[in-house]
Amino acid sequence: MLEVRTYRAESIQAAMLLAKTELGPDAVILDVRHLGSRQLLGHDSVVELVAAPASPKAPVRAAGEARSSAASAAGDPLLLGLNALGLSTRLAAELVRIYRAQRGHGQELRRALAARIAEYIPVAPWLPLGGRLLLALVGPTGVGKTTTAFKLAGAAQADGFPAQVISLGGDEAHDVRSETLARGLALPFTRVANSVELQRALRMTHASLVVIDTAGANPYDPRAIAALESALVQSHVVVSLALSVGGDLEETLEAARRYAPLRARALVLTKLDETRRPGMALGLAEQLGRPVIALTTGPRIPDDFVNASAPALAELAAWTLERLERRLGRAVPV
C-alpha cells in the first residue's frame, strides 16, 4: 500500500524540505494545498503538502545495475577519484559509466549526469514562492553564513520577495559588518540575542524570506550547539547547515554529525571557488542526505552563488571527471 504523509509549513519550499528529508530525494509530491489565512506557529500562510516515498521499483533496478558496474569498476582510477570526494561507490560507478559513454557530447553528457544525480542527491528551491520561509543558517565559524544570508536575502529582494536578515547571537564587531551589508542592499536587519527576542522579531516581520544568521558554533563544543538549539527550537525555522567544501572530507562529515541536535533540514555548501576539489560538494550532499539549497562560489554579495539543482550538480560532476581524467593522463596525483 502506498505510504502517504502530510506536511504543513509556511511555504511550499519549507514543506518540500520536510518531505524530502523524511522520505528521500525522490519523494513524490502528490498534492499541494494552500490552507489560507490560518494561524500556524504564529504565522498566517499555511501550505499543506501530501507526499509519498518514491516507488521501490527504481532503487531496486538501480541497485542491481550498480552492483555489477561497481564490481567491474573496482580499482578504476576515475571511480576512486570520486570516492575520495565522498561519493558512494554506487553513484561514482554510475557517473563514470555515463561519462565514458557520453564523453565529448557536452549537453547529452550533462543531461544524463543530471538525471542520475537527481536520483541520489536531493535539492530544494528556497525562494518563498508559496508563502514565507524562515531559514536559519548554522555551521562552523567562517564558512560563509553571514555572506550567504545576505546573498539569499539580497537575491530574493531583487526578485520582488521582501526579505530580512536577523542576526542571532552575533557580537558587536560581527554585526557592524552585517549592518553595513544590510544598508548596502536596503534590507531590514535586526539583532537578537536569544529565543525570546528571536520569536518577537519573527512576529514583527512581514518579510516572505527571513534569513536568520547565527554566530559560528564550534562543532566540538556541545554547549555551543545546545545553546543554539534552545535559541532556535521555539521558532520552527528551517535549519540549514552551512559547510565549506574542499577541506578534509572526514573532518567535515564529522563536524556535520556534531550539529545533529539542530536537526538541519537543508544544506548550503560554500566556497566552491576556493578549492580544486569542488566535487566534494556532491559527496557531502550524498552522504548527509539533506536537500542542498545553494552552492556559493565567491565572496561577492549577492552574485556569487547558484541555486542548487541537478543541472548545476551535473556541471560540477562533469568538471570533476574531466579534471580527474586530465590529471590521470598526466600521471600526477589527484
Ligand X SMILES: Nc1nc2c(ncn2[C@@H]2O[C@H](COP(=O)(O)OP(=O)(O)OP(=O)(O)O)[C@@H](O)[C@H]2O)c(=O)[nH]1
Least distance between ligand X and beta carbon 191 (Å) = 13
Read off the C-alpha cell for 32. 499541494
Distances (CA, A) of 162 to 17, 133, 305: 21, 11, 19
Read off the C-alpha cell for 43. 504565522
Any contact of residue 141 with ligand X (CB under 6 A)? yes
Any contact of residue 145 with ligand X (CB under 6 A)? yes
Any contact of residue 146 with ligand X (CB under 6 A)? yes
Least distance between ligand X and beta carbon 41 (Å) = 26
Q: 159-178 mask for ligand X (x: CB under 6 A)?
A: ---------------x----
Q: How many of the chain's residues bind ligand X (CB under 6 A)?
A: 19
Least distance between ligand X and beta carbon 9 (Å) = 26
- d(C-alpha 224, C-alpha 255), whole Å: 13
Contacts with Mg ion by CB under 5 A lie at 145-146
> In the complex with ligand X, which residue's Cβ is closer, 116 or 145?
145
- 173-176's contacts with Cβ under 8 Å and 24+ in sequence apart are 174/146, 174/215
Any contact of residue 296 with ligand X (CB under 6 A)? yes
Any contact of residue 304 with ligand X (CB under 6 A)? yes
Buried b (16+ CB within 10 A) or exposed e, 110-131: bebbbebbbbbbbbbbbbbebb
- Using the rule CB under 6 A, give the single segment among 7-15, 94-102, 135-143, 229-237 that binds ligand X: 135-143
Any contact of residue 89 with ligand X (CB under 6 A)? no
Any contact of residue 147 with ligand X (CB under 6 A)? yes
Torsion (CA) 35, 36, 39, 43 in degrees, nearest 10: 110
Element holding 240 (H helix, E strand): strand 238-244
The option from ligand X, Mg ion, none interacting with 304 (CB < 5 to 8 A, set by class) reads ligand X
Least distance between ligand X and beta carbon 140 (Å) = 7
The option from Mg ion, ligand X, none interacting with 151 (CB < 5 to 8 A, set by class) reads none
The option from ligand X, Mg ion, none interacting with 44 (CB < 5 to 8 A, set by class) reads none
Whose CB is nearest to ligand X? 216
Q: For residue 234, count other CB atoms closer than 10 A to its CB.
A: 14
- d(C-alpha 109, C-alpha 104), whole Å: 8
- d(C-alpha 291, C-alpha 293), whole Å: 6
Least distance between Mg ion and beta carbon 147 (Å) = 8
- d(C-alpha 132, C-alpha 209), whole Å: 6
Candidate residues 205, 273, 309, 315; the one interacting with ligand X per rule CB under 6 A: 273
Any contact of residue 274 with ligand X (CB under 6 A)? yes
Candidate residues 102, 199, 205, 297; the one interacting with ligand X per rule CB under 6 A: 297
Under 8 Å between Cβ of 296 and 270: yes
Helix (H, G, I), strand (E, B) or coil at 121: coil
> In the complex with ligand X, which residue's Cβ is closer, 115 or 226?
226
Amino acid occupying residue 134:
L
> In the complex with Mg ion, which residue's Cβ is closer, 2 or 173?
173
The option from ligand X, Mg ion, none interacting with 299 (CB < 5 to 8 A, set by class) reads ligand X
Candidate residues 45, 157, 270, 320; the one interacting with ligand X per rule CB under 6 A: 270
Concatenating the DSSP letter of every residue in 19-65 gives HHHHH-TTPEEEEEEEEEEEEETTEEEEEEEEEEPPPTHHHHHHHHH
Any contact of residue 191 with ligand X (CB under 6 A)? no
Interface residues with ligand X (CB under 6 A) are: 141-147, 174, 215-216, 270-271, 273-274, 296-299, 304
